[in-house]
Structure 1
Amino acid sequence: MLDNGNMVLVTQSVPSNMDYDDEYYNTQTSDSTNATNSGDKLVFEENGVMYVLKRNNQRQILTP
């Protein structure tokens, strides 16, 4: 989770542990005009649902 509220997945080389900075998923959960609309944490439910919990307690469900 980035400081701006986006959760970003990037590729990384396992042997060298180098970041390639190639985003393959970006939640787009940042809001520069209202920080309470930005993501705060990634949540995994027991039933398999994943979502970003925003600072205002709203959920953004992550879908493939």
Structure 2
Amino acid sequence: MEYHARCHCKRVRFSFRSPEITSGKRCNCSLCVRRGAVLSPDYIPAADFTPHADESDLTVYV
């Protein structure tokens, strides 16, 4: 199954292939709490991950 998502800033979009995701985890940071974000508990291999962004928009998020 292919999923499409984006980061908090909405400038970086990405897609990934994964078996159907049937459960999620809630992040308790202030951004995720405000936006109701849910994280996949599964690891996504790099080969199944495709960024759709200009490389200048990518950075480390701490």
Q: TM-score, normalised by structure 1?
A: 0.27
* Structure with larger Rg: 1
Larger helix percent: 2
Q: TM-score, normalised by structure 2?
A: 0.27
Larger strand percent: 1
